[in-house]
Copies of this chain bind each other. A is one copy, B any other.
């Protein structure tokens, strides 16, 4: 049933959710597909159509009650609960990620941090004590963690991904600039800032 909803629709929901949370912070209580669309540079029809996949969240003539719509989107995306996330790689980027409060604020708790370097294992980043990569499988399995972030050099990313998949992880956010091969039931998202920059230079004269 949920498989009938296009991926591209799902991928826009977090954008809507983020905008709703901001509107809420700014003191708004209701909004409309037009207002949201204007903020996001998306047509109002698109927003209404996307939302209608999941039922009628708005009221004709009035718009959407922000608190309600936000709650509904949270449930659709399964982010009304909290998720535990494993972080692999405690280098420059990994440390910044571990210290970043934005994950926990939005429901993603970093539950453990792994590294392979004996220099780093045992040390701490904030409240996180860095653990050996050797312990990854047992810890992840015990805690039932299904989401992980990879912040190791590109050369080691695939091997880390294999370990994660073996331990039962089903969703990976990969910061290393390399494509990963994983089984079909494992989801991967990529963050590579250079790639984003390269997407813009084409348009510069």
The interface size of chain A toward B, counting residues with CB under 8 Å, comes to 57
The dominant DSSP class at the A interface is helix
List residues of chain B with CB within 8 A of the CB of A202.
2, 10, 13, 76-78
Offer 30 A-B interface pairs, CB within 8 angstroms, sorted by A. A2-B202, A10-B202, A13-B202, A14-B194, A15-B179, A17-B198, A18-B177, A18-B192, A22-B154, A22-B178, A39-B179, A40-B179, A77-B198, A78-B204, A83-B197, A83-B201, A85-B197, A92-B96, A96-B96, A103-B194, A103-B197, A106-B198, A146-B204, A170-B203, A171-B200, A171-B201, A173-B193, A189-B199, A189-B200, A191-B191
Beta-carbon contacts of A74-99 to B below 8 Å, as 1s and 0s? 00111100010100000011011101
A108 within 8 A of B: yes
List residues of chain B with CB within 8 A of the CB of A166.
none
List residues of chain B with CB within 8 A of the CB of A17.
198
